[in-house]
Amino acid sequence: MKQRWRRLLSSSVGCAPILAVALLATSAAAQQDIDPWAKGTSWAAVRFGYAKSAAEGAADGNVGFGFVYTAFRSTKWSYGASAQVDYLGRYGNSHQIEAPFTVETARHFKWATPTRPYLGAGLGAYYQKIQGTTDDAASFEPGAYFMLGSNTPVSPRGLLGFDVRVSYVGLNNQDNPVFGGEATTGRHQSHAYHWSAKLSYAWVL
């Protein structure tokens, strides 16, 4: 009886490496077969690049970064949410910062190449902050945006992307002596265009 158990144990130990290799091969094959745009797929992405305000009195653009979650309802349509921080510019020690918290939807187009472009739109609340002036202020303002971009797989679960977003955002504190349109140009603006061009990397979840 003991010898039988020993033989069974020896056989199991001998088969373990084979089973492990088979499982790894199956896992690798499954990863290779993943379609990032399949229905029910979701992405988690980071973005980094250029951001600027086109408002009267705005400084030259600077940098921004953010995080985006995307889920696919079909192979063509996705919806998502994002949180970003855009350092819109500075004059000396004065800074203008914006942090959009938004939801979005996009239409993805399948090409004959691995790259897939998309068009989309979104809306949300834009936290705006001016600091380093004699009249600092912070507020949440409504905004909406249009986006154009593309994504390309670079690994079984990774995609490299690029997009341009143009936002139409409400403005506050127009009498600010540094960044305010009324104070610097004499013209009042209730809204302005803000835009960004950023690279992204997305992980397929």
| pLDDT tens track for 11-55 | 444 444 444 444 333 334 344 568 999 999 999 999 999 999 988
Cβ atoms of residues 68 and 60 within 8 Å: no
Between 161 and 18, the more confident residue is: 161
21 and 72 in a single domain? The answer is: no
- 190: domain CATH number is 2.40.160.20
Domain that holds residue 4: 1-33
84 and 27 in a single domain? The answer is: no
40 and 3 in a single domain? The answer is: no
48 and 140 in a single domain? The answer is: yes
pLDDT band at 202 (very low <50, low <70, confident <90, very high): very high
170 and 79 in a single domain? The answer is: yes
What's this model's pTM, rounded to 2 decimal places? Answer: 0.79
Phi and psi dihedrals of 177, rounded to 5?
-70, -10
Lowest mean pLDDT among 20-34, 35-49, 66-80, 85-99: 20-34
For the chain, what percent of residues have pLDDT higher than 70? 79
Q: What is the pLDDT, as a whole number, of residue 181?
A: 66
Cβ atoms of residues 178 and 133 within 8 Å: yes
How many CA atoms are closer than 13 Å to the CA of 80, on its beta-carbon side? 22
Structural domain count of the chain:
2
| pLDDT above 50: residue 198 | yes
**Separation between Cα atoms, residue 85 and residue 97, nearest integer Å:** 7
